[in-house]
Structure 1
Amino acid sequence: MLDPMLVLGAASDLDTLSVDLPAGSSVVIKVVIAFFLFGIALEAKPSDFLGHLKRPWVLGVGVLGQFLVLPALTLLMAHLLDVPGSVALGMLLVACLPAGNLSNLLTHRARGDVALSVAMTTASNLVALVATPALFAFWASRYAPADALLARISLDPVAMAVEIGLLIGVPFAAGVYAGHRWPVLAARSRRFVDAAVLVLLLLVVVGSAASGAVEFLSWVDDLIWIVVLQNAMVLLVGWLFARGLRLPPAGTRAMVLELGIRNTGLGIVIAVAYFGEVGGAVLVMALWALWDVLSGLLLATFWRRRPLPVPVEEPA
């Protein structure tokens, strides 16, 4: 259960808090997301998919885990913690997001299976065009306080689907075309795109949180542990899936980071665009964006310092 003071105050404060990012922030975040998807598409080679199509259940289980298992467990967590409706909206939105290509960068740093990571990121982002708005509306309606807020703000899943389609589909298609048309240039620019995206994302998230648009810091103590708990649950699910699929250590690292690193930039745009009147959702998303990067870097650095076991060849 949440702190009683939060339960009493959040319904009247978090659920009615209006959050507006500084002028121009939403446009900058959309540009960052475009770079994210463009970067993913530059490395989305058919060979990556063909290799994993020999074991299609790995991609299938990974995508199903992201869009079905994570939201279901998040809904259960919201019920157990009895969180306010706006906080539940933020938690469920995170759970229904696709992976971000930050997971590809961190998988590389962790010495994981980058080809698997890229294939899963590409698949999850394509599925998200339809799955994210539809599943978010479905799971949020299963939590009464969140459903009441959705009715109040009149969420239009079709409009959300169109915005997600533009934010994901256009830059992804541009990246696929660039990678196919100019493969050498795309390969050389890949590292620059990845670094630029990471820096821009950190600047936008930190700048928005520190801008004074809302009393952000006053809610950190009440919300951060919820974010940490949900993130730990997501990472654990990724590890369990990897163990269940009997993935090698490199594949396990890729699966854990793929489920653990969400496209929080896309989530912030959606939260501000549709849930600015229920600030708890935006604050949860902003905290998730910060914690996601921090926890992912720590985990990837830990794994980087632990070399992968060398397979032992059996005698003929």
Structure 2
Amino acid sequence: MNPDVIDAIQVAPGSLLALNVVLSLIMLGIALDTAPSDFRVVLTHPKPFIIAILAQLLLLPLVTFGLTFVLPVTDSMALGMILVACCPPGNISQVLTHRSGGNVALSVSMTAVGNVMYIFAMPLSIAFWGSLNPRTRDILEAVTLNPGQMLLEVLLIVGLPFGLGLLLRAKLPGFARRAHPIVHWFSLIALVAFIAVALVGNWAIFVSVLGLLVIVVTVHDAVALGLGYGTAVLGGLGTRERKAMTFEVGIRNAGLGLGLVFTFFGGLGGMAIVAGWWGIWDIIAGLIVSSLWAWRTRVRTGSSRGDASGRSIGGREG
């Protein structure tokens, strides 16, 4: 059992409010690109979504729970891994799915419905999986984590802006279409900037565990991506659906997790650096995988998307 010797991450006054605003903008951006048809897709083609939600809500936290015993992590790093695994899918998954030639409509629908479910599932999931490990249970008890309070926080950061975005998309589709790319890229760049500033401001802490952190996050992220692909294969989904599933399960909204670390865990060092570095590495790893996938498909078929269009649900390509 590793003692937790990582100091708490310190951020400038007002930074937490700025982070929450950025996270709300991320959810607003997702909703601005979400149409009612994206929810209907789940009803008309439920199989991929059922596989994805089981992989995200059950398998990923379960596998992560096992990794906390296998990897040489501190107590707070273990809880940080569980926290990230319990976060909703990140909106960059749609960009990566499109880049790889995957099923974008499926990715959009899974992200839309998944985020609604995670508003209620995430606080319970963190409390449940965190309490199973004696090492992480001690931290939860020390901070007296209240799932109800976390639910309220998630409703404000995730639910409210998501609902507002859906309303704007329904009532002002033209405005939503123009605003989406601005909100999407601004919030993503702002999140990366926040993480970078936080890491630089706590450079000594970051460097002291850099080697271990890189190994842990790289392994954890690779397992998450592999779990998405593997469950899609076992579920008998087509190649384009496998690509969407890979990123839907493998890409997590670690920025939201980072916000929860500062709100409920006092910026606990191990949790914060895992969530922060995951938020950066997740994008890098996703871009590498999606680019290699697009190149391979282009070589085999002459197109990064194969024979099917990017928004269709069905179809298989080589």
Q: Same fold (TM over 0.5)?
A: yes
Using the TM superposition, give the Cα deviation of residue 287 of structure 1 relative to its aligned residue in structure 2, in angstroms. Answer: 1.3
Using the TM superposition, give the Cα deviation of residue 68 of structure 1 relative to its aligned residue in structure 2, in angstroms. Answer: 0.9
In structure 2, the partner of 1:131 is 121
Once residues 183 and 265 of structure 1 are traced to their aligned partners in structure 2, the CA distance between those partners, rounded to angstroms, is 27
Question: Once the two structures are superposed, what CA deviation does each residue of 1:192-214 show, in whole Å capped at 9, x if it has no partner?
Answer: 22221221122111111112376
Once residues 303 and 189 of structure 1 are traced to their aligned partners in structure 2, the CA distance between those partners, rounded to angstroms, is 30
In structure 1, the partner of 2:55 is 65
Matches within 5 A, 1:93-242: 93-212=83-202, 215-242=205-232
Once residues 249 and 183 of structure 1 are traced to their aligned partners in structure 2, the CA distance between those partners, rounded to angstroms, is 32
Aligned Cα RMSD in Å?
1.8
Once residues 278 and 209 of structure 1 are traced to their aligned partners in structure 2, the CA distance between those partners, rounded to angstroms, is 13
Question: Once the two structures are superposed, what CA deviation does each residue of 1:64-114 show, in whole Å capped at 9, x if it has no partner?
Answer: 211111001111111223532211110000110100111112222222211
Once residues 56 and 161 of structure 1 are traced to their aligned partners in structure 2, the CA distance between those partners, rounded to angstroms, is 27
Matching residue's letter, 1:13: V
Using the TM superposition, give the Cα deviation of residue 22 of structure 1 relative to its aligned residue in structure 2, in angstroms. Answer: 2.1
Using the TM superposition, give the Cα deviation of residue 230 of structure 1 relative to its aligned residue in structure 2, in angstroms. Answer: 0.7
Once residues 71 and 214 of structure 1 are traced to their aligned partners in structure 2, the CA distance between those partners, rounded to angstroms, is 30
TM-score (norm 2): 0.90
Where 1:100 maps in the other structure, the secondary structure is coil
Using the TM superposition, give the Cα deviation of residue 58 of structure 1 relative to its aligned residue in structure 2, in angstroms. Answer: 1.4
In structure 2, the partner of 1:83 is 73
Residues 221 and 59 (structure 1 numbering): CA distance in 2 closer, same or farther, change over 3 Å?
Answer: same
Q: Are 1:46 and 2:20 an aligned pair?
A: no
Match of 1:309 among 306, 311, 315: 306
Aligned residue pairs total 302
Unaligned runs of 5+ in 1: 1-6
Q: Are 1:254 and 2:244 an aligned pair?
A: yes
| Percent identity over paired residues | 33
Contact 2:41 2:109 in 1 (8 A): no
Q: Are 1:19 and 2:19 an aligned pair?
A: no
Using the TM superposition, give the Cα deviation of residue 136 of structure 1 relative to its aligned residue in structure 2, in angstroms. Answer: 0.9
Using the TM superposition, give the Cα deviation of residue 26 of structure 1 relative to its aligned residue in structure 2, in angstroms. Answer: 1.5
Residues 81 and 139 (structure 1 numbering): CA distance in 2 closer, same or farther, change over 3 Å?
Answer: same
Once residues 107 and 73 of structure 1 are traced to their aligned partners in structure 2, the CA distance between those partners, rounded to angstroms, is 23
In structure 1, the partner of 2:18 is 28
In structure 2, the partner of 1:4 is none
Shifted more, 28-37 versus 78-87: the winner is: 78-87
Contact 1:20 1:213 in 2 (8 A): no
Where 2:87 maps in the other structure, the secondary structure is coil
TM-score (norm 1): 0.90
Once residues 280 and 232 of structure 2 are traced to their aligned partners in structure 1, the CA distance between those partners, rounded to angstroms, is 25
Once residues 38 and 95 of structure 2 are traced to their aligned partners in structure 1, the CA distance between those partners, rounded to angstroms, is 16
Contact 1:33 1:167 in 2 (8 A): yes
Question: Once the two structures are superposed, what CA deviation does each residue of 1:23-79 show, in whole Å capped at 9, x if it has no partner?
Answer: 222122212211111111112212223234222121122112111110011111112
Once residues 54 and 244 of structure 1 are traced to their aligned partners in structure 2, the CA distance between those partners, rounded to angstroms, is 21
Residues 151 and 51 (structure 1 numbering): CA distance in 2 closer, same or farther, change over 3 Å?
Answer: closer
Matching residue's letter, 2:232: A
Contact 1:19 1:213 in 2 (8 A): no
Question: Once the two structures are superposed, what CA deviation does each residue of 1:266-291 show, in whole Å capped at 9, x if it has no partner?
Answer: 01100111222631111111111111
Contact 1:105 1:194 in 2 (8 A): no
In structure 1, the partner of 2:266 is 276
Contact 1:25 1:208 in 2 (8 A): no
Once residues 273 and 37 of structure 2 are traced to their aligned partners in structure 1, the CA distance between those partners, rounded to angstroms, is 40
Question: Once the two structures are superposed, what CA deviation does each residue of 1:196-242 show, in whole Å capped at 9, x if it has no partner?
Answer: 12211221111111123762122111221011111111011100121
Contact 2:107 2:244 in 1 (8 A): yes
Where 1:210 maps in the other structure, the secondary structure is helix
Question: Once the two structures are superposed, what CA deviation does each residue of 1:113-151 show, in whole Å capped at 9, x if it has no partner?
Answer: 111111111122111111111111111111111111211
